Amino acid sequence: MQSLTNRSKIVSNKTMTWSERIYLPAILAGLKITLVHFFKKKVTLQYPEQTKDHGPYFRGRHVLKRDDQGRENCTACGLCALSCPAEAITMIAAERKPGEEHLFREEKYAIEYEINMLRCIFCGFCEEACPKDAIYLTEMIPTADYTRKKFVYTKDMLLEGIEPKDRIDISKRRKGIREGAM
Ligand code: SF4
Ligand code: SF4
């Protein structure tokens, strides 16, 4: 019968030799391939300790900016969340109280702001949509982790100038907001 692709192979039924039966040639051939690759230049990187060099237009994890007086730029207008095609951004708005002018630039601010990095496709639409120059995508890559929860970046993780040790337990803060609102 004529083959359509010429890729069919005739299976050999010849009796295996002694060395073939103990798989020695196959094992040695495999070890040879391993040895050859062992001394070649590695193409893999030890992420997250090592990262690749990126082009100048690379879009990585976000940062929430402050103005030159250290006040938060974000006014919780929600335009970034609206423009996000992945629905990765959520926020809770709050009103600035008297005496908080040194903390927040506008009368309204985001008391909570979250980005789900597992949803984000790093398109940069949020940065484009923001009228307050509050959100930017940086060259940083979201760090590797083992649980989904760790990829929901809270405001304390996004806002510039907050050290990890100073981050507030967000579940407690949210509880406070809801109790305060009731
Ligand atoms: S980069 Fe794109 S997908 Fe990610 S949060 Fe911003 S708008 Fe959404
Ligand atoms: S980051 Fe910008 S667009 Fe998003 S809520 Fe804040 S001010 Fe509005």
For residues 90 and 174, the answer to whether their CB atoms sit within 8 Å is no
Gap between the Cα atoms of 68 and 9, Å rounded: 72
pLDDT digits (tens, 9 = 90+) for 40-58: 998 888 887 888 888 888 9
| Per-residue tokens: 93 | 């708005």
124: Cβ–Cβ under 8 A, 6 or more apart, which residues? Answer: 59, 137
**What DSSP designation does 145 have?**
-
How much of the chain, in percent, has pLDDT values that exceed 90?
Answer: 59
Residue 48: both structure tokens together:
């997250």
Contact 47, 144 (CB under 8 A): yes
Gap between the Cα atoms of 80 and 92, Å rounded: 13
The SS3 call for residue 11 is coil
Atom 2, ligand 1: residue with shortest CA distance: 123
Confidence (pTM): 0.72
Question: For 113-130, what is the mean pLDDT?
Answer: 96
Dist. CA 15–CA 21, nearest whole Å: 10
Report whether pLDDT(181) > 70: no
Distance CA(132)–CA(109), nearest Å, equals: 11
Domain map of the chain by residue range? 62-181
CATH number for region 62-181: 3.30.70.3270
The CB of 74 under 6 Å from ligand 2? The reply is yes
Smallest CA separation from ligand 2 atom 7, residue = 74
The strand order across the sheet containing 89-95 reads: 89-95, 108-116, 152-153
Q: How far apart are the first and last CA of the chain?
A: 82
Residues 107-119, mean pLDDT to the nearest whole number:
95
> CA-based diameter of the chain, in Å?
92
* Ligand 1 centre distance from Cα of residue 64 (Å): 13
Does the C-beta of 158 come closer than 6 Å to ligand 2?
no
For 122-171, the pLDDT digits (tens) are 999 999 999 999 999 998 888 888 999 999 999 999 998 876 666 555 54
Quickly list H helices, 14-154.
Answer: 18-21, 24-38, 79-83, 125-129
Whose alpha carbon is nearest atom 3 of ligand 1? Answer: 120
Question: What pLDDT sits at residue 87?
Answer: 96
